[in-house]
Structure 1
Amino acid sequence: IKASFNKFGKLLPKDGYFIINGDSPNMDILHDVKAHIVKYGKKSSNNVVIENISFDGLGCGSFDLNYSGKHIGNFKLHVPGLHNIYNATSAIIASIVSGIDVDTIKEGLLDYTGVGRRFEIKGKYHDATVIDDYAHHPTEIKATLSTAKRFKKGTLWCVFQPHTYSRTISLLDEFSEAFYSADKFIITDIFAAREDDPGTIHSKDLVERLNHNNVDATYISKFEDIVKYLKENIKPDDIVMTVGAGPVYLVGEDLLKQED
C-alpha cells in the first residue's frame, strides 16, 4: 500500500501538491516525491496545524487552521469525529491550493452531511440513539467508536458483524484491541461475502479474545435475538451502534420498528 502511494506521489509534477497527514508515521511514502509537500495535523511541526478543536453534542467538530504561521480561519463540520477533522483539513488544503476562497470552503463543509452507512444516525428507540457505520477494519472501528464515545451519555453498545473469514483470522489480534471505547459489545456470525467457511475461525474466537482483554463481549448468532436482547437491556440515552460491511444494519432498523 505504501509503495502504491509513493508511486502515485512520484507521478506528481514539480508544481503539484502532495497533501499528507503529518501526524502519521508513514512519511517514507514521500521518498523521491518532487511535488510541493504539505503536511497537516495537530503537531506544531506540520505546515498546516489544526488548533482549538472542540465538539458539539453530536460529536461534530469545529477547529482553527494555521497555515505556515498564518491563521486562515475557523471551520465547522456537520459530520462527527476527529477523523473527519483530519479529512476536512486535507480537503481544505486541496481547495486553497486550487484557488478556492476560504468563505466558499466553509460553506461547502457545512453543506456536507456525510454519506449513507458512515456514522448514519438512523433514529431513536425509547430515547436510545441508533447509529450505523460501515466500518469493518480495526482502524475504522476504533475511529468510529471513539467518535461515539465523545458524546455518549449512557451505555455505548456495539453490534459487530465481522466481514469475511480471511480478514477476521488475519486481523484477529487487531480486532481484539479495537473495541475498548464500547461499554457493551455484541458479535454476530461472520459475514462470508464471497468466501466459503474454512472452519478455522468463528466469531466466538473473537469474543474469547475480547473477554480476555476485559471487554464485555457476547456472541449472539441471529439478528432477531440481538434485537430482543437490546430491547430488554438498553436504556434512555444509550447509543446502539451497528458496525460492519454486511447486513448488520438490519439489527438497528428492526429495533427501530419496535418503537411504540
Structure 2
Amino acid sequence: MIPNEFEPITSLSHGSRIYFIGIAGISMVGLAEIALRRGFVIAGSDMHASDRTRRLRERGCAIYAYHSRDNILTFRPDLVVRSAAVPANNPEIIATQEAGFPLIDRSIFLGALTRQYVNVVNIAGTHGKTTTTGMLAHIMIENQIDATIHLGGQFTDFDGSSVHIGESNNLFISEACEYNRSFLHFRSSVACILNIDRDHMECFTDMADLRQSFVDFAQLTDSDGTVILPVKGLGCDGLREEISTAFLDAGLTAPRLISFGSYEDGADIGFRDLTYDRGYPVFTLIADNREIAEIRLSIPGEHNVGNAVAALACVWALNLDLAAAALAMNTFNGVEGRFTYEGVFYGARIYSDYAHHPGAITATLKAVERLPVGKIHTVCQPLTYTRLKLLFNDYVRALRASESLLICEVYTDREQSDLGMSSRLLVEAINQDGGRAEFCTDYEDVKKRLTARCQPGDIILFLGPEEVRHYGHLLGLEQRRDA
C-alpha cells in the first residue's frame, strides 16, 4: 500500500506538468531529468544557473533564473516540487498555495520513485554517500547492469549528469540523506548505513534522536531485503542490535543484516592486507570468508576503502557477480567534487573536495598526507552558519595543524541569520590554539596568497561547498592560460 503522501505524484499521467522550485540543486536537477524522461512537462526556477540547468533548457524545459509568482501562474503546474533550501516565504511557494496547486518536498518525490522499482538501494550516512553511490554506479555501468541511479554529484560515467536513467524498473540506486529526516520517505530493498556523525543537529533534538532516525530508516527496508552496517565504530556500535530490536518490537520480520569493514574485525564482507602504493590504497576483498580479489583504488584515503567495501556489500546483497564488481572498482576515478583534480598552479597540483564537516576534513587531510607531496595548502570554506556554530570546536581541531591554511567566509543558501558566526572568528580561534590560519575575502585574495607560497610538488586542496571548489577550478585555468 502506497502512503497518502505520495498521492499527488501517483495521480499524475503522461504529459502532466511539474514545476521544480530550486531546480539547480544537484538532487533536484536529477529528479527533473528523470521526470522529463518519463514524459512529464518540466519547468523550474533557481537563482543559481549552471551547466546542469542549461542541459534541461536545451531539452525544451522552461528554466527561470529568478523566483516569481508569475512563473507559477503562467506554467499552471499539476505538481510543484520544492527544495529544502527554499524558504516558506518564497513567492512561488506562496503563489502555489494560493492557487491550490499540489506542493510537495523533494524527499517525497524521491520517496515515490523508490516505490516504483522492484529493487531499491539507498545509501545513507553522514559521510561518503556520493562517493559510495558513485562507486556502485560505476560497477553497474561497467558490468552493463540496467539501473536508474540518482547521485549527489556530477559524474563522468553519466556524461556529466547527476543521474543515469535505466530502461526498466528493475533497479533504482540513490543517496538517502538524513537532513530534515528526508530518508524516512524512502523504501529500500537494500539499505546501507555508512556511518553516523554529529551533523544537521538543527533537525534533531540530540545524538540519540539522530541515531534513532537511522534505525527508523532501516525499518523501511523490505522484510526480504538487506540492511548493511559498519562492523565497528563510525558511530554505529550497537546499531545492529537496535535495528533488530526495533523490528521485533514492531512485530515485523527483520531483513538480513550484514556488516562491512575490516575483515580482522569480523566483517561479513571486508578488507584485509591494507597497504598503500604512492598513497593510494591496495587491499584484498574478503566475503563470506572467501578471498574475492585484490583491489587498487585510484582515490586516496582509508575512508574510501570503507566506502568501496560498502558499495561491494550492496552488490553482494543484490546477488550480483562480486568478482566482476571488484574488477570494476579498480577503474573508478571519483565523482565531481570528491577529490577532483583541477590542474596545476606554479607546479602545485590542485584538488577540490566537498569535505565541509570537520570529520570529513580530517579524513581528507589524512588521505592527502599519504600522497607524495611537498607542502599542503588548504583552502577551506565552512558550509552554513548553523553547522559552524554547532561544530565550532571540531572545526578548530580539524584545521589547526594545517601548515598553510586559508579560510573563506561561510557559504549559506538557506539561512536568514549568521547566528553570530563568521569565518573570521574561526581563524582567530585556530590561531589562538596554535594554528596558522588566514582569512580570505574572495578568489583574487586566495590566488594572491597562494602565488606567494606555492612550490612545485605541493598540493593545493580546496575543501567545502561548490563556491570554494569553483575557486580551485579557476585556479587550474590560470596556469593553462599562462601556458
> What's the counterpart of residue 272 of structure 2?
51
Distance (Å, rounded) in 2 between the aligned partners of 1:253 and 1:72? 38
Structure 1, unpaired ranges of 5+? none
1:9 to 218, 222, 239: 218
- Does the residue aligned with 1:18 lie in a helix, a strand or coil? strand
1:137 is the counterpart of 2:346: no
**Superposition map of 1:195-234 within 5 A:** 195-198=415-418, 200-234=420-454
Distance (Å, rounded) in 1 between the aligned partners of 2:368 and 2:269? 27
Greater Cα offset, 76-85 or 142-151: 76-85
Distance (Å, rounded) in 1 between the aligned partners of 2:216 and 2:377? 41
Figure out how many residues of one structure are paired with residues of the other and give that number.
259
* Kept after mapping to 1: 8 A contact 2:228/2:259: yes
Equivalent AA in structure 1 for residue 231 of structure 2: G
* Kept after mapping to 2: 8 A contact 1:149/1:182: no
Distance (Å, rounded) in 2 between the aligned partners of 1:12 and 1:130? 41
Once the 2 structures are TM-superposed, how far is the Cα of residue 20 of structure 1 from its aligned partner?
Answer: 1.0
> What's the counterpart of residue 41 of structure 2?
none
Of the two, which has the highest radius of gyration? 2
> What's the counterpart of residue 156 of structure 2?
none
* Kept after mapping to 2: 8 A contact 1:224/1:251: no
- TM-score, normalised by the number of residues in structure 1: 0.90
Greater Cα offset, 166-175 or 93-102: 93-102
Greater Cα offset, 141-150 or 250-259: 250-259
> What's the counterpart of residue 238 of structure 2?
28
> What's the counterpart of residue 256 of structure 1?
476
Distance (Å, rounded) in 2 between the aligned partners of 1:104 and 1:167? 40
- Does the residue aligned with 1:99 lie in a helix, a strand or coil? coil
Q: Which runs of 4+ in 1 moved over 6 A?
A: none
Equivalent AA in structure 2 for residue 98 of structure 1: L
Structure 1's 181 and 37: CA in aligned 2 closer, same or farther, altered over 3 A? farther
Distance (Å, rounded) in 1 between the aligned partners of 2:401 and 2:303? 15
- Does the residue aligned with 2:374 lie in a helix, a strand or coil? coil
Distance (Å, rounded) in 2 between the aligned partners of 1:199 and 1:88? 38
> What's the counterpart of residue 60 of structure 1?
280
- Does the residue aligned with 1:151 lie in a helix, a strand or coil? coil
Structure 1's 66 and 230: CA in aligned 2 closer, same or farther, altered over 3 A? same
* Kept after mapping to 1: 8 A contact 2:301/2:367: yes
Q: What do residues 138-180 of structure 1 show as CA deviations (whole Å, max 9, x unaligned)?
A: 1111121111111042111110111122221111011111125
Equivalent AA in structure 2 for residue 214 of structure 1: G
Equivalent AA in structure 1 for residue 221 of structure 2: L
Distance (Å, rounded) in 2 between the aligned partners of 1:49 and 1:82? 13
Distance (Å, rounded) in 1 between the aligned partners of 2:378 and 2:340? 14
1:80 is the counterpart of 2:300: yes
Q: What do residues 188-207 of structure 1 show as CA deviations (whole Å, max 9, x unaligned)?
A: 11113222443611212111
* Kept after mapping to 1: 8 A contact 2:339/2:351: yes
Percent of paired sites with the same residue: 27
